[in-house]
Amino acid sequence: MYLLNEAPIFLEFMDRFLKKANSKIKIKATDELFLYDKCVCNKHYCNSFILKTKRKIQKDFYMYHTIKTNKGTFGIELFDNGKFIFVATENKNLPFKKEHKILFKHKSSIKKNLIKNKQKQKLSKKDKKILNRFFKDFKIDPDYKIHYYVDDCIIDYI
């Protein structure tokens, strides 16, 4: 697993995505939430990020929130074992796909140890341009906005 700041494009993406979806949450790089694993669905375009929190979650808690957009359907899935999945399976041109590929290229399990890269990852000008282009005409279906009760669930993980 990795600290969230190993994936600055994903972090910035989440920030803008959640804002557009009406969420009040800001996903920050903290000591509680980690980039944990990739999804095993094997869908061709899957760029889902599995995050995991160190915080204790109430037993049997589960939540899934779907977010329909003009650039595919996304989802937020929360489990009682601390897993927080950002589901992204319908768009092959997500700005963070290269980070997803680099971080989770290993076949063996990377889950147990915290992997720290020596080089600090930063958003480049090009990354910002790609993000700007993605969000310029990005629209969330108003029926799928994130309401305060979804925020209340997410906040327990960060």
Contact between 46 and Zn ion by CB under 5 A: the answer reads yes
Give the residue with the Cβ less far from Zn ion, 48 or 53: 48
Q: Whole-angstrom Cα distance, residue 117 to residue 136?
A: 32
Q: How far is the CB of 124 from Zn ion (least distance, A)?
A: 27
Contact between 157 and 82 under an 8 Å Cβ cutoff? The reply is: yes
Phi, psi (rounded to 5 degrees) for 83: -75, 140
Contact between 103 and 6 under an 8 Å Cβ cutoff? The reply is: yes
Q: What angle do CA 66, 91, 98 make, to 5 degrees?
A: 115
Give the range of 31-39, 59-67, 93-101, 141-149 binding Zn ion by CB under 5 A: 31-39
Give the range of 19-27, 46-54, 58-66, 70-78 binding Zn ion by CB under 5 A: 46-54
Per CB under 5 A, the list member of 8, 10, 48, 52 interacting with Zn ion is 48
Contact between 47 and Zn ion by CB under 5 A: the answer reads no
Q: How far is the CB of 14 from Zn ion (least distance, A)?
A: 17
Give the residue with the Cβ less far from Zn ion, 8 or 38: 38
Residues 6 or more apart whose Cβ sits within 8 Å of residue 151: 23, 24, 25
Per CB under 5 A, the list member of 11, 25, 35, 39 interacting with Zn ion is 39
The 8-class DSSP code of residue 121 comes to P
Positions touching Zn ion (CB under 5 A) are 39, 41, 46, 48
